[in-house]
Structure 1
Amino acid sequence: MTVAAQDTDCNPRYGANARIQISVTDSSEAKVVNTTSAMNDGGGFSYTFVVPARTAPGKATVTAVPYNVDWCDDTGRNNRVAGAAVVQLQRASCVLPVKPLTIGR
Structure 2
Amino acid sequence: MNPTVAKPGDAITVHAADAGCNPRYGQNARIQIIVTDAAGHVAISTTAPMNDAGGFSYQFDVPLQTAPGEASVEAYPFGVDWCDDTGTNNRVPHAEGFSRASCAARTKPLAISP
Q: TM-score, normalised by structure 1?
A: 0.85
Match of 2:16 among 1, 5, 29: 5
The Cα RMSD (Å) is 2.0
Q: Give the structure 1 partner of residue 104 of structure 2.
A: 95
Structure 2's unaligned 5+ residue stretches are 1-11
Change (3 A) 1:90 1:102: closer
Change (3 A) 1:76 1:26: closer
Structure 1's unaligned 5+ residue stretches are none
How many residues are treated as equivalent by the alignment? 100
C-alpha distance in 1, partners of 2:14/2:43? 14
Paired residue type of 1:102:
A
**Deviation of 1:43 (Å):** 0.4
C-alpha distance in 2, partners of 1:79/1:71? 6
Overall identity of the aligned pairs, in %: 61
C-alpha distance in 2, partners of 1:54/1:91? 30
SS of the residue aligned with 1:49?
strand
Whether 1:54 and 2:65 are equivalent positions in the alignment is: yes
C-alpha distance in 1, partners of 2:60/2:87? 33
